[in-house]
Amino acid sequence: MKTTEEILQENGLNWNVTKEKLMYAGECTPSANNGLHHTDFYAVVREDTGEAFTTVKEGYTPTQNHVIIDTMRKIAGDNDLEIVKALPINGGRKILVQMAKPDNIVTIGDQKTRQYIYAINSHDGTSALKFGFMNEVIFCSNQFTWLNSNGLKGYVHKQSIQDKVSNLPEILNFEEQDSTIAELHEMSFQPITAKQSTELMDYLTGMDSTQYGWADNYTTRKMNIREDLSHCIFRETNRLGMNKWGLFNGVTMYTSHHKSIPNRENGREESIYTGTGQKMSKDALNYLRNC
């Protein structure tokens, strides 16, 4: 396994965050003779760029990238995993670490897929440390992710991330991963109708195609989104069959390759792991579980 320093250097993560006291400019007073007044707030600042990610109170303790990678290397070593990717998301507001087992190929339906485990930690206070799973269909690179229910629900930035991890007997629920894969495999044998496909598109786009003249009720942008999604579903159900697995692949083809993404570095990964792409795939899977 690569060292922490190698991972940081190779993935553009060799920078720190600092906690800087925030002040505001006002009238000169005996306690602020230069007009600068203290507040109870601090900014979490990326040290190499000076960009402020968020504001916090005094009790917040920043978790440095090298600590995140050190911790992930320990988890990887304890679970027979290898770190294969580490990325800054949204300018470093979140850090994504992707891990895999040596033999990470699993078949769903008749499609070979690669399995990954990932961890996300934020510097902007939007989330605690979370773990999840990602599968990628090798043939077409369709990707979908879901969170591990065993995540660090109680983790906040007021204690050491390493201490918190060491207190948990089991971070990664591989049984949950296996169960979801088995469920998707079973979906490859469950037929769907054209009506169910249309209903899923209605659900995911927030549209109602059952009304007369329904297309006139929506913007060109909304109709283009539906058309792109429909094209992906048509292609994947033709390739994999009119079954729930084929329909789900139509959605993940759209989120993996065609859906609009943030216009910044690693924007596709941001969408698939933490953004609207992840939400759409999750909504599609939950819908198919119940239809």
pLDDT tens digits along 234-251: 999 999 999 999 999 999
* Cβ neighbours around 28 below 10 Å, total: 11
Is 130 in a helix, a strand, or coil? strand
Q: How confident is the model at residue 176 (pLDDT cuts 50, 70, 90)?
A: confident
Q: How confident is the model at residue 153 (pLDDT cuts 50, 70, 90)?
A: very low
Q: How confident is the model at residue 169 (pLDDT cuts 50, 70, 90)?
A: very low
Q: Which of 67-76, 162-171, 191-200, 227-236 has the lowest mean pLDDT?
A: 162-171
45-58 pLDDT per residue, tens: 999 999 999 999 99
CB-side neighbour CA atoms (13 Å) of 119: 28
110-133 pLDDT per residue, tens: 999 999 999 998 999 887 788 899
Beta carbons of 28 and 37 less than 8 angstroms apart? no
Rg (CA), the chain: 22
In this prediction, residue 262 carries a pLDDT of 96
**pTM attached to this predicted model:** 0.90
55-83 pLDDT per residue, tens: 999 988 888 999 999 989 988 988 889 99
Which residue would you say has higher pLDDT here, 26 or 31?
26
Using the structure block, give the residue that is written with the tokens 């993404």. 261
d(CA 234, CA 215): 19
Q: Which residues pair with 38 in a beta bridge?
A: 23
Instruction: Assess whether pLDDT exceeds 70 at residue 151.
Output: no
Instruction: Assess whether pLDDT exceeds 70 at residue 168.
Output: no
Q: Average of pLDDT values for 33-48?
A: 90
